[in-house]
Each structure stands twice: as structure tokens, then as C-alpha cells.
Amino acid sequence: MAPQKDSRAVAVTANPIDYSHLAALLTRSGSPLPPAELHGGLCGVICASGRKAASGWLDEFMDDCTGDAATLAELDNQLRTLGTVTFNALSGWTFEFNPLLPDDESAIALRAEALALWCHGFLAGLVVGGVDLAGDPSGLSAEINELVRDFAEISRAGAEAEESDDAGDSSLTELIEYVRVGAQCIFEELVAGSAGRESPTIH
């Protein structure tokens, strides 16, 4: 279930990272991952293993990046900020978790494709974080198994919406909300429910 608000909330927006700017930084750093897939992977690792695992995952990601020192420093700062804000939101420190996707003014097809990539990255991040999605599903609740199956289906859907289709825009908004709440549920079961709250900062 989604985290409940308490007195530890901090005033931080869900994603203070510009999608297009991060995409440009990733390209200049030699990364093949778009922001949506990278954020999905980060969220998957956080949901599987928590804050420290996410910090280590970012360390490994940065080790594979290339480019000039200024670009790498900015990218590292952006990703650490994104990681901290994402963990805070999932864990209930800010209560504003959202997948990092192109803004609502972007074409529906682009947003739908980004959501598919986000889900693909999220499932990969769960595996990296130690969740055995290919093995015996009995270790996960029925709700989480259903969410994993739905995320896998979304990840295969790709961009099928028509830009001028208002119904398609509404359906995509509903899918994004489903993914947003689903990721929070997975975090609650795998991390928050078993290990309690962690420090709100990813270093």
C-alpha cells in the first residue's frame, strides 16, 4: 500500500530533474539508457534492496560512463539527486513518487514508449536487487506477482497510442498512475515492510 503521511515529510518535489536535460547528459556520457529506463532501473533496485543498494548501483553506472569531467560531475549530481528524491518519495518521506517520464506536452507515442522502457528498467532493477522473477513466485505476494506481470506486459506494449487520440491520452494517464502506485506497493512489501525506514539520502 502507498505510504501514509507523517511528521517526517520534507518539502521536495517528486522529480526535480528535467527529462530532456538528463537525456542530453546521458548521451554526452556515452550511456545507451534513456532517462525513463534508467529511472526505472534505479527504482527497481531501491524497491528490491533499498537505499544502499541503489547507491552502489549508481556507482557502477557512473563507472561505465565516459565524457569530460564537467559532464560526468553534473550527471553524477543529477543522478544522486534523483536517487535521493526517489527513495524519499517511495519510503514515505515526501509522498510524491512519480516515474520519470517526458512531460505531458510530449507526444503520446513518446510518453507511451518511455513508460514501456521505465517498466522494463524497473523489472531489470528488481532482478539486479536480488528478486528472482524467473524462479518460484511463491516468495512474493499474489498482489506483487500480478504487478510484475502487468509491468512486463506494459514493457512490451511500446508506443501504440495515436498523438491526436484523447482516449489514448486518458488511458496512458491511467497506466502511469497504475505504475506509480504499483511501484509504491512493491517497495512497501519488499523494503519498508521488512526493514523499516532508512536514511533519506543517497550518497
Picking from 174, 178, 171, 128, the residue whose alpha carbon sits closest to that of residue 151 is 178
Q: 100 lies in a domain?
A: yes
| DSSP states of 134-148 | SS-GGGS-HHHHHHH
pLDDT at 1 over 60: no
Q: 10 lies in a domain?
A: no
Please indicate whether residue 72 or residue 92 has the higher confidence score (pLDDT). 72
Q: 202 lies in a domain?
A: no
Q: 23 lies in a domain?
A: yes
* Pairwise CA distance, residues 159 & 163, whole Å: 10
pTM: 0.84
Q: 1 lies in a domain?
A: no
Q: Answer whether 184's CB lies under 8 Å from 99's CB.
A: no
Instruction: Check residue 135 and give its pLDDT.
Output: 74
Tally of structural domains, the chain: 1
Q: 168 lies in a domain?
A: yes
Q: 203 lies in a domain?
A: no
Q: Helices in 2-68 by DSSP H: which ranges?
A: 19-28, 35-49, 51-63
Q: What is the pLDDT of residues 130-189, one digit of tens each?
A: 998 887 666 788 999 999 999 999 998 864 544 445 557 788 999 999 999 999 999 999
What value does the mean pLDDT take over residues 19-35?
96
Band the pLDDT of 194: cuts 50, 70, 90: low
Phi, psi of 174 (to 5 degrees): -65, -40
CATH number of the domain to which 172 belongs: 1.20.120.740
Q: Answer whether 198's CB lies under 8 Å from 91's CB.
A: yes
Please indicate whether residue 202 or residue 101 has the higher confidence score (pLDDT). 101
**Lowest pLDDT segment from 17-31, 85-99, 156-170, 180-194:** 156-170
> 70: domain range?
19-195
Q: 9 lies in a domain?
A: no
* Pairwise CA distance, residues 94 & 81, whole Å: 14
Q: At what angle do helices 35-49 and 108-128 cross, to 10 degrees?
A: 30
